[in-house]
C-alpha cells in the first residue's frame, strides 16, 4: 500500500507535465492560427527577427513583435504625413490669402469699371441732351469724323465692358465654386484633423494595448520561467522521491529480512522454551521422584536402623541362644530375616545409586537449564535490540512517510500553482485576443485614414492644379487690368477731348445764341 501511494504523485506530475506541454502547444498553435486568420495582409519578412528564416518557424510572439514594428513604422509614416498635411495646409492658407487679395483687386477693378461705366453713361446722356437741344434751337451742325470715331470707340468700350462684365460674372462663379471647394477642403481638413485625433486616440489605445501585450508577454515569460523553476523543483523532488523510495524499499526489504530472522529466532526461542518447559516438567517429575525416593530412603534408613537394632538384638539373642543351644530354629529364621534385610539393603543401595544418578542427572539438567536460561537471556537481549532496531526502522519509515506526505502536499501546492498559472495563461490568451482585435481595428482605421488621406492628397493635387489655373487666370486678369488701365487712360483722354468738344459745343451754343440775339435785334 505504501508503494502504491508513493508512485501515484509521480504519475500525476508526469501527467501534469504532459498536459502542460500539450496545452502550451495547443495554445501556441491556436494563437498563431487566430493571428493568421485575423491578419488579411501579408507581413513582410523585414519586420521579423533575424533568427526566424521561414514563416512556418515564426512563433506567435514573433508575429506580435512584427505587428508592433509595423505599428511603429505606421506611426512614423503618420507623423510624416501629418507634417506634409501641415505644410499643405500652410500652402493652402497662403493661396487662400493670395486668392483673397486677388478677389479684393477684382472688386476694386469692378468698382472702377462701374465708375467708368457711370461716367460713360453720363457722357452719353450729355451728348444725347446736347444733340436734342442743338436740333431744337439751331440748325444741325454737321458731325465730324472725330465724333463718329468717338462714338465707335464708346461702343467698343461698351462692348468691352459687357465682355468684362461677363468675365467678372464668370470669375464670380469661379470664385463661388472655389469658395465652396475651399469650404469642402476646410471640412475635409477638419474631418482629417478629427481622424488624426481619432488616429492619435487609436495610437494611444494601440500603445496601451501594446504595453498590455508586452506586459502580457512579460507575464507569460515569467510564468514560463516559474514553470521551468517548478519543473526543476519537481524533477528534484522526483529524484529525492525516487531516492526515498529506493531507501524505503531497501529499508522495507531489510526490515522484512530482520522480521523474518526475528520470527525464526522467536520460533527457535519458543521451541527452546517448550523444551525448557518439558525439561522443567521432567525436572519437577525427577524432583518428585527424588523426594519420593528420599522419603523412601529415609523410611528404608529408618527400617534399616530398626533392622540393625533388631539384628543387633537378634545377634545378641543368637549369641544368647548359641549360648543356650536350643534356639536353632529361631536362629535359622533370624538368618533368613538377616538375608532378607541384606537383600533389602542391596535394594536400598541400588536405589541410592539410582538416586545419585538421578541427582547427577538433575545437576546436569540444572546446568543445561542454566545454559538455556543464559541463551534465553541472550535471545531476550537480542530481541530487545531487534525491537529497538525495528523501532528505529519504523521511525525512519515514519519519517520517510512524513517526508512523502510533505512532498505530496508540496506537489499539491505545485499543482495548484500550476493550475493558477494555466488560468493566468488563459487570461493572457483572452487579453491577447482582445489585443489582436484592437490591433485589427487600428490597422483597419489606419487603412481607412490612409485612403482618406490619399483622397485628400489627390484633392489637394487637384486644387494645386486649379490654383495653377487660377494663377494663370489671375495673370490674364492682371494683363486685362493693365489693358483696362490703358483703356481708362485713353477714356480719360477721350473724356478730356469730349470736354473740349463740349466746351466747343458750349462756345458754338453761345455763338448761336449771340447770333440769334443779333437776328432778333435785326428783325
Set of cell numbers at residue 373: 536460561
pLDDT for position 388: 81
- Categorize the per-residue pLDDT at 4 as very low, low, confident or very high, splitting at 50, 70 and 90: very low
Within 13 Å, how many C-alpha atoms sit on residue 336's CB side?
Answer: 5
R_g over Cα of the chain = 73
CA distance 29 to 39: 15
Q: Is the pLDDT of residue 2 over 50?
A: no
Burial class (CB in 10 A: 0-12, 13-18, 19+), 376: middle
Q: At which residue does the C-alpha cell 521432567 appear?
A: 282
Say if residues 126 and 502 touch (Cβ distance below 8 Å): yes
pLDDT for position 53: 45
Eight-class DSSP state of 46: G
Set of cell numbers at residue 380: 531476550
pLDDT for position 82: 78
CA distance 523 to 518: 8
No. of H helices and E strands in the chain?
4, 0
Within 13 Å, how many C-alpha atoms sit on residue 270's CB side?
Answer: 6
- Categorize the per-residue pLDDT at 127 as very low, low, confident or very high, splitting at 50, 70 and 90: low
Mean pLDDT, range 449-458, rounded to an integer: 68
pLDDT (tens digit per residue) in 226-241? 767 777 776 777 777 7
Q: At which residue does the C-alpha cell 493558477 appear?
A: 420
Backbone dihedral angles phi then psi of residue 59, each to the nearest 5 degrees: -85, 160
Mean pLDDT, range 155-182, rounded to an integer: 71
Q: Is the pLDDT of residue 419 over 50?
A: yes
Burial class (CB in 10 A: 0-12, 13-18, 19+), 502: middle
Taking Cα atoms as reference points, which of 307, 304, 333 lies closest to residue 318? 333
- Categorize the per-residue pLDDT at 52 as very low, low, confident or very high, splitting at 50, 70 and 90: very low
Least confident of 87-101, 262-276, 503-517: 503-517
CA distance 381 to 386: 8
CA distance 74 to 85: 16
- Categorize the per-residue pLDDT at 9 as very low, low, confident or very high, splitting at 50, 70 and 90: very low
Least confident of 13-17, 484-488, 513-517: 13-17
Which of 312-319's residues contact partners 24+ apart within 8 Å by CB, and which partners? 314/338
Set of cell numbers at residue 193: 484633423
Task: Provide the residue ranges of all domains of the chain, joining segments of one domain with +.
Answer: 251-407
Say if residues 66 and 43 touch (Cβ distance below 8 Å): yes
pLDDT for position 497: 67
pLDDT for position 103: 72
Mean pLDDT, range 251-278, rounded to an integer: 73
pTM for this one? Answer: 0.30
Q: What is the DSSP string of 384-426?
A: HHHHHHHHHHHHHHHHHHHHHHHHHHHHHHHHHHHHHHHHHHH
Backbone dihedral angles phi then psi of residue 439, each to the nearest 5 degrees: -65, -40
Residues contacting 480, CB < 8 A, separation 6+: 164, 167
Set of cell numbers at residue 13: 506530475
CA distance 383 to 267: 12
CA distance 17 to 423: 16
CA distance 31 to 67: 14
Q: How far is CA 207 from CA 60, 81, 144, 221, 435, in A?
A: 19, 19, 89, 20, 10
pLDDT for position 445: 66
Average pLDDT, the chain: 69
CA distance 337 to 333: 6
Residues contacting 40, CB < 8 A, separation 6+: none
- Categorize the per-residue pLDDT at 203 as very low, low, confident or very high, splitting at 50, 70 and 90: low
Mean pLDDT, range 301-317, rounded to an integer: 73
pLDDT for position 58: 46
Which SS3 state, helix, strand or coil, does residue 43 take? coil
Q: Is the pLDDT of residue 76 over 80?
A: yes
Amino acid at each position: 500500500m505504501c508503494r502504491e501511494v508513493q508512485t501515484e504523485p509521480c504519475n500525476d506530475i508526469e501527467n501534469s507535465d504532459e498536459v502542460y506541454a500539450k496545452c502550451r502547444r495547443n495554445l501556441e498553435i491556436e494563437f498563431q492560427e487566430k493571428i493568421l486568420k485575423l491578419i488579411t495582409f501579408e507581413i513582410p519578412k523585414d519586420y521579423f527577427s533575424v533568427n526566424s528564416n521561414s514563416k512556418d518557424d515564426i512563433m506567435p510572439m514573433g508575429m506580435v513583435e512584427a505587428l508592433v514594428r509595423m505599428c511603429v513604422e505606421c506611426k512614423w509614416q503618420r507623423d510624416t504625413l501629418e507634417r506634409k498635411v501641415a505644410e499643405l495646409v500652410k500652402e493652402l492658407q497662403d493661396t487662400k490669402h493670395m486668392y483673397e487679395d486677388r478677389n479684393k483687386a477684382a472688386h476694386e477693378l469692378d468698382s472702377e469699371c462701374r465708375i467708368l461705366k457711370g461716367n460713360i453713361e453720363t457722357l452719353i446722356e450729355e451728348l444725347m441732351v446736347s444733340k436734342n437741344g442743338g436740333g431744337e434751337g439751331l440748325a444741325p451742325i454737321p458731325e465730324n469724323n472725330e465724333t463718329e470715331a468717338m462714338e465707335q470707340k464708346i461702343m467698343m468700350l461698351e462692348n468691352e465692358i459687357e465682355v468684362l462684365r461677363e468675365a467678372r460674372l464668370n470669375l464670380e462663379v469661379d470664385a463661388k465654386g472655389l469658395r465652396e471647394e475651399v469650404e469642402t477642403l476646410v471640412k475635409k481638413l477638419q474631418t482629417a484633423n478629427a481622424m488624426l485625433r481619432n488616429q492619435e486616440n487609436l495610437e494611444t489605445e494601440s500603445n496601451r494595448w501594446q504595453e498590455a501585450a508586452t506586459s502580457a508577454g512579460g507575464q507569460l515569460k515569467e510564468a514560463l520561467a516559474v514553470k521551468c523553476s517548478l519543473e526543476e523543483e519537481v524533477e528534484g523532488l522526483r529524484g529525492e522521491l525516487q531516492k526515498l523510495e529506493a531507501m524505503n524499499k531497501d529499508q522495507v526489504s531489510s526490515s522484512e529480512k530482520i522480521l523474518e530472522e526475528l520470527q525464526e529466532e522467536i520460533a527457535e526461542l519458543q521451541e527452546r522454551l517448550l523444551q525448557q518447559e518439558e525439561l522443567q516438567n521432567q525436572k519437577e517429575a525427577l524432583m518428585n521422584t527424588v523426594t519420593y525416593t528420599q522419603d523412601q530412603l529415609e523410611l528404608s534408613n529408618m527400617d534399616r536402623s530398626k533392622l540393625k537394632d533388631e539384628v543387633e538384638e537378634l545377634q545378641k539373642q543368637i549369641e544368647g541362644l548359641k549360648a543356650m543351644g536350643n534356639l536353632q530354629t529361631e536362629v535359622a529364621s533370624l538368618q533368613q530375616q538377616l538375608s532378607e534385610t541384606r537383600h533389602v539393603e542391596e535394594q536400598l543401595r541400588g536405589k541410592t545409586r539410582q538416586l545419585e544418578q538421578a541427582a547427577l542427572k538433575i545437576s546436569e539438567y540444572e546446568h543445561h537449564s542454566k545454559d538455556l536460561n543464559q541463551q534465553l537471556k541472550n535471545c531476550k537481549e537480542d530481541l530487545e535490540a531487534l525491537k529497538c532496531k525495528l523501532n528505529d526502522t519504523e521511525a525512519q519509515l515514519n519519517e520517510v512517510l512524513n517526508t512523502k506526505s510533505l512532498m505530496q502536499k508540496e506537489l499539491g501546492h505545485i499543482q495548484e500553482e500550476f493550475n493558477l498559472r494555466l488560468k493566468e495563461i488563459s487570461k493572457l490568451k483572452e487579453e491577447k485576443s482582445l489585443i489582436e482585435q484592437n490591433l485589427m481595428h487600428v490597422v483597419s482605421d489606419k487603412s481607412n485614414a490612409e485612403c482618406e488621406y490619399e483622397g485628400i492628397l489627390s484633392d489637394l493635387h487637384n486644387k494645386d492644379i486649379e490654383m495653377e489655373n487660377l494663377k494663370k487666370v489671375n495673370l490674364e486678369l492682371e494683363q486685362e487690368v493693365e489693358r483696362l488701365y490703358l483703356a481708362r487712360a485713353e477714356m480719360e483722354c477721350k473724356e478730356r477731348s469730349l470736354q473740349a468738344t463740349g466746351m466747343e459745343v458750349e462756345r458754338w451754343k453761345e455763338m448761336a445764341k449771340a447770333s440769334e440775339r443779333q437776328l432778333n435785334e435785326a428783325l
